[in-house]
Amino acid sequence: MDNDAPISIAVFGLGHVGLTTALGFSDLGWNVIGVESDLAKMKLIQDGQVPFNEYGISDLLAKNLHSGRFSVTADIKEAVCNANILIMCVGTPQDTDGTADISQLQNLARKIGQNITSHKIVVQKSTAPVNTAAKLKEILLSNIQNSKGSNDELVDIVVIPEFLREGNALHDFFNPHRIVIGLDNFDLKDMLGCIYKPLLVKMGKNESEILIYTDISSAEISKHTANAFLATKISFVNMIADLCTKVGADVEDVARSIGMDPRIGSDFLKPGIGFGGSCLPKDLAAFIQVGKINSIDFSFLEEVNKINELRISNYINQVINVLGDLKEKTLGVWGLSFKPGTDDIRDSPAIRIVSELIKLKANLRVHDPYAITAFKEFIGVSDRIYYAESPSDATVGVNAILVLTDWVQYKEEDFKVIRNYVNDPLIFDGRNLFDPDLLTNEGFQYYGIGR
């Protein structure tokens, strides 16, 4: 790539990661073309609407469409011709055997390759197993229609894994703890450092405080390792929660006591119905497969997964142990998304629990501040589900309230009022959201996790 050529960026796949990345770079002053193959989604974004719930992103979309620095297309050729840094943010879902399905990346690499006529830096931002970038480079090179010279000189592949959290996506883009850049051509350091320069200036940080340059494999492994470690913390504290339940201790106090040690840290030491979402479960599963492929004993991570899987049945059994057969019992469900701050229900423990409760023929009054539309699409028509207008509406006539997502607004409910709505004053707090004493004082029987 001509080092004096003006930098322009194309981002492929405008989901949570892609749209955030595209708008983030555009807001930092770069010209960005967003490419989305789902035409309905693409048109929505072109019209200034965000197809998912993410704090602050609607305003940033409006601002950057208006400035003219961000444009949207479905045309891969247009984007490849007009940009020199091409960032791939397509999905890498879990395949049936647990491995990462990298077919969206492979298809995209094929199409990008077919349209390359001058040097491009292709960035793999999607989370994918070690060695994926090497496979993508082969696909890119074999699809370039080039009569003169070697294709090798037309493409550099770089891995910049994404660490953002849904619900905090923009905050995380503009305030990263670190940016990992995996590359095999270290001549690109200046160019890549340059696209992050406005961000570093905004943060008041030096390059060395935020940017980590490494080789491609280490960058790929660092993303899987981060998610496997976070999953481990959650399963670890849930294992301790099981012990606390057995002996009558309080896991919240245990978690607090160890979390205050800076060597351990309190983040992700949150007992509950387990981790879910579009990343941790599938990345853990994919990393376990990476261990198998490379003949490394990753059985430790299999245990992490097993502990997490057990959360669903443990929680349902806790409810059955108190209420008995759930057939025709009415349960108020608070929360469906996999965590607060998002409408994402992919691999949400709440959804798995709700699906089991329907199988057990319970009647449900469900509430979620944002995820109802996604849930309706997922679950289809069911005469066992009533969609509540408000958290309190979900509690009318119920035999118990089930807290499945720790939305902060549930904490604002007045349990004196709720006490008059419910049939039976029982609460199964799957996220340890509430203070047990507070609810007991309001006349509720409180059941938390490991306390």
Give residues in contact with ligand NAD (CB under 6 A). 12-18, 35-38, 41, 89-92, 104, 107-108, 126-127, 162, 164, 166, 278-279
The residues assigned a catalytic role are: 279
Q: 163: which DSSP letter?
A: -
What kind and span of H or E run contains 363?
strand 363-367
Smallest distance, Å, CB 15 to ligand NAD? 2
Report, in Å, the least distance between residue 221 CB and ligand NAD: 15
Strands 70-73, 85-88: pairing kind: unpaired
Q: Is the dihedral of CA 406, 407, 408, 413 positive or negative?
A: negative
C-alpha 413/C-alpha 269 separation (Å) is: 25
Residues belonging to the chain: 451
- In this structure, the strands spanning 155-159 and 179-183 are antiparallel
Q: From 302, 310, 269, 306, select the one nearest 286 (Cα to Cα).
A: 302
d(CA 235, CA 309): 10
Cβ 42 to ligand NAD shortest distance, Å: 8
Tell the residue number behind the tokens 């055997």, with chain if given.
Answer: 97
Cβ atoms 404, 431 nearer than 8 A: yes
Shortest approach of ligand NAD to residue 92 CB, angstroms? Answer: 4
Residue 349 CB, shortest distance to ligand NAD, in Å, is 16
> Quick one: which of 136, 48, 154, 49 has its CA closest to 100?
136
Q: Could you tell me where the DSSP H helices lie in 68-168?
A: 76-82, 103-114, 132-143
Report the C-alpha gap between 181 and 212 in whole angstroms.
6
CB of 227 to ligand NAD, least distance (A): 8
Q: How far is the CB of 34 from ligand NAD (least distance, A)?
A: 9
Q: What are phi and psi of 333, to 5 degrees?
A: -110, 120
Position of minimal CB gap to ligand NAD: 15
- Which of 64-79 are b and which e, b meaning 16 or more Cβ less than 10 Å from the residue's Cβ? bbeeebbbbbbebeeb
Q: Strands across the sheet with 31-35, in order?
A: 70-73, 31-35, 8-12, 85-88, 120-124, 155-159, 179-183, 211-214
Looking at the Cβ atoms of 22 and 254, the one nearer to ligand NAD is: 22
